[in-house]
């Protein structure tokens, strides 16, 4: 009953989309490309995109949950797979917008869809499906996504 322990710790705040269209994901994070993100070829190193995605996921859950309180329960969302496709190089001083949304929620895992675009355009730089599990540190294993956590994840998936 891992989800039940987090009952009062997970809040269901709704983020406001930057644009009011249904096609726009509910959460967007902007990241400016800095010199330390670049490789020898002058574009963002492939490994840095994983950091951009992680930053956007933290921001997403920060908006939708009491992240600190959630972490105090001994539960954590742990990434077990990232499938990323690189579409266009990102360059110095470009501003990237990372769209983050919950795509699927299963019994023991869920998938977050993330798309990185050039800010203010439809130009896709990279896109990824990130699979995670709910990990219980006290049991040292992944546990079923249930209770209030399941309700939250289902609501987020429906809104996105």
Domain that holds residue 23: 2-159
| Separation CA 67–CA 111 (nearest Å) | 18
Nearest of 27, 51, 154, 30 to residue 101 by alpha carbon: 27
Residue 18 has pLDDT above 80, yes or no: no
Residue 23 has pLDDT above 60, yes or no: no
| Separation CA 32–CA 42 (nearest Å) | 15
Residues with Cβ within 8 Å of residue 48, at least 6 apart in sequence: 37
Residue 137 has pLDDT above 80, yes or no: yes
Q: Which of 30, 39, 62, 136 is catalytic?
A: 39
Q: Tell me if residue 62 falls in helix, strand or coil.
A: helix
What total of structural domains would you count in the chain?
1
Q: Is 154 an annotated catalytic residue?
A: no
Q: Residues 33-72: pLDDT tens digits? A: 999 999 999 999 999 999 999 999 999 988 888 777 777 8
| Separation CA 133–CA 129 (nearest Å) | 13
User: Residue 104: which CATH number?
Assistant: 3.10.129.10
């Amino acid at each position: 009953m891992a989800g039940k322990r987090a009952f009062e710790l997970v809040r269901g705040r709704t983020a406001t989309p930057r644009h009011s269209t249904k096609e726009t994901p509910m959460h967007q994070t902007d990241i400016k490309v800095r010199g330390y993100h670049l490789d020898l070829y002058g574009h963002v190193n492939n490994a840095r995109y994983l950091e951009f995605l992680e930053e956007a996921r933290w921001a997403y859950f920060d908006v939708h949950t009491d992240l600190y309180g959630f972490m105090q329960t001994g539960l954590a969302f742990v990434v077990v797979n990232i499938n990323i496709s690189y579409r266009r190089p990102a360059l110095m001083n470009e501003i990237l917008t990372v769209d983050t949304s919950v795509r699927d929620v299963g019994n023991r895992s869920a998938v977050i869809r993330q798309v990185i675009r050039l800010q203010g355009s439809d130009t896709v730089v990279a896109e990824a499906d990130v699979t995670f599990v709910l990990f219980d540190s006290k049991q040292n294993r992944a546990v079923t996504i249930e209770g209030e956590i399941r309700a939250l994840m289902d609501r987020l998936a429906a809104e996105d």
